[in-house]
Amino acid sequence: MWCEHGRTEVAFATGAWVEALEVGLNAVDAGERHAFHRVVVRLWFVLLPIARSLGRRDLIERAYPRFAERRGREPDSPYARIVTTAAHLEFARAGLEPTFVPEVESRLGSFDGAHAGPSWLAGIRSVVGAWIAAGELEGARAALDRMGAANGSTRLARATESMLRARLEHAGGELGLARDAAHRALELLDGAAPWWRLGALGELHGAGGGNEVTRTEAEAIRRHLGIPG
């Protein structure tokens, strides 16, 4: 089932979301039948951001019991402090858990590593996005600075950092810097990773950038992924 997990990650990143859901959910079913709990949790780390983007509350509710029973017993590692927190942020957004803002200091070390898998970067988007939305701009900046300085960073990781920096600069009123960061993310993506590209386009448009071409591209990506307008 770890092979199916890898296929789900690749399908998530490349925008083959019908395949991601089919392969991932079938693997979740098999994992639950055989009590392979670790791979089930890892699969949900990939599937939850897809579910949120598609408005699939049924999938979020389906995942919730597996995480609820592990609450307080999850491994405490730099990896888990991001991806597990991101999962609980999804449950809170769905009203299944109380709303919360993740604590910053204990998570900053998570941004020093070279993790670059799609589900990891989706977790980064969720956690840093929660900090920015809550006005925790200094913490978000510290995290992104550490992420930007990490060795072994991939293009997708650098694009994620630039996209989130665009959101951070926008929140701080620096629209020019926000547009620059969004453009940098789009250049790094170079047409790949449509969900990330859609996010960068959204940051560009939100900061007053973009044009008819970029708006048309964003709409095409939403249609391709099946994201409601």
> Would you place residue 114 in the very low, low, confident or very high pLDDT band (cuts 50, 70, 90)?
low
| DSSP code of residue 109 | G
The Cα 114–Cα 117 span in angstroms is: 9
Q: What DSSP string runs through 112-161?
A: GS----HHHHHHHHHHHHHHHHTT-HHHHHHHHHHHHH-TT--HHHHHHH
C-alpha R_g of the chain: 17
CA pair distance 166, 101, nearest whole angstrom: 20
Distances (CA, A) of 2 to 24, 96, 101: 10, 28, 32
* Burial tier of 63 (Cβ tally within 10 Å: 0-12, 13-18, 19+): buried
Instruction: Decide: pTM greater than 0.85.
Output: yes
Q: Is the dihedral of CA 162, 167, 172, 176 positive or negative?
A: positive
Question: Measured between alpha carbons, how far is 112 from 151 in angstroms, rounded to an integer?
Answer: 8
Give alpha helix (H) positions in the chain: 2-14, 17-33, 37-54, 57-68, 80-93, 118-133, 137-149, 155-171, 175-189, 194-206, 212-225
For 12-57, how does the pLDDT look when each residue is reduced to its tens digit (9 = 90+)? 999 999 999 999 999 999 999 998 888 999 999 999 999 999 999 9
The CA-based dihedral angle spanning residues 68, 72, 75, 77, taken in that order and rounded to the nearest 10 degrees: 110
- What is the tens place of the pLDDT at every residue in 127-153? 999 999 999 999 999 999 999 987 667
CA distance 124 to 48: 13
Q: Token digits for 62?
A: 């389906």
Among the listed ranges 72-76, 122-126, 173-177, 225-229, which one has the minimum average pLDDT value?
72-76
Q: Above 90 in pLDDT, residue 225? A: yes
- The tokens for 158 are 């650098």
The pLDDT confidence band at residue 71, using thresholds 50, 70 and 90, is confident
Please report how many Cα atoms fall inside a 13 Å half-sphere around the Cα of residue 59, on the Cβ side.
23
